[in-house]
Chain A
Amino acid sequence: GGIITQTPKFLIGQEGQKLTLKCQQNFNHDTMYWYRQDSGKGLRLIYYSITENDLQKGDLSEGYDASREKKSSFSLTVTSAQKNEMAVFLCASSIAGGQDTQYFGPGTRLLVL
């Protein structure tokens, strides 16, 4: 088995601030994903990466940057936090892509004051 770790668990930021969320996986999976989950809604894809140093934009990439410097880690940056923003960011990984099962981390909860 493996595990996905997301840090921090909770993140409180100020409007306009640049905020970075980190994700680590020890599955040795090639593909990693960042999703945003808003209350009462499903997950929406922000970025994904099929291998080290690869980045692919999802539907919700505007306002975010991502970085995949190592196979095991995938970072997401909120480039300018929006006032009163509140969401959960979920990281996932899969062996490759295709229809492979995605495994999810516990999430980072963001609140912008």
Chain B
Amino acid sequence: AQSVTQPDARVTVSEGASLQLRCKYSSSGTPYLFWYVQYPRQGLQLLLKYYSGDPVVQGVNGFEAEFSKSNSSFHLRKASVHWSDSAVYFCVLSAWVSNYNVLYFGSGTKLTVEP
């Protein structure tokens, strides 16, 4: 079975602080993983994706994520957050269902960056 768990519904950090948003996945096959961000009143935007190779992938706006097969995790990180990073972040697993590909979303983590 495929599933994604984001254990932290809300995270608050101070501007300039480092950030880690946690994601655990369950996949019966090779996991393809994404992080999407949703700003208020907007659609989802892709931050980064992992298919294979180097377990640390770089994304837009200074975000990166590290894939760990042993821990079934795909945590998102940023060295120094900005107030504009306040948004909801979704960890997403891509899996094959009936010969076609489907995305499984975590429940999201709402990030608030305080001045």
B-binding residues in A (CB < 8 A): 4, 35, 40-45, 48, 50, 56, 58, 90, 92, 97-107
Contact = CB atoms under 8 A, between A and B. Distances in A.
Please classify the interface of chain B as helix (H, G, I), strand (E, B), loop, or mixed, using the class held by over half of its residues.
Answer: strand
Contact of B107 (A35, A40, A103): A40
B94 interface: yes
Nearest to B43: A104
A54 B94 CA distance: 21
B101 A97 contact: yes
A42 B4 contact: yes
A99 B43 contact: no
Interface of B: 4, 9, 32, 34, 36, 41-46, 49, 51, 90, 94, 98, 100-108
Contacts of B43: 4, 90, 92, 103-107
A50 B100 contact: yes
A40 B103 contact: no
B107 A106 contact: no
23 contacts: A4-B43, A40-B108, A42-B104, A42-B105, A42-B106, A42-B108, A43-B103, A43-B105, A44-B105, A45-B102, A45-B103, A48-B102, A50-B100, A56-B100, A90-B44, A99-B32, A99-B49, A99-B101, A102-B46, A102-B103, A104-B43, A106-B41, A106-B42
B65 to A, nearest CB: 15
Contacts of A48: 100, 102
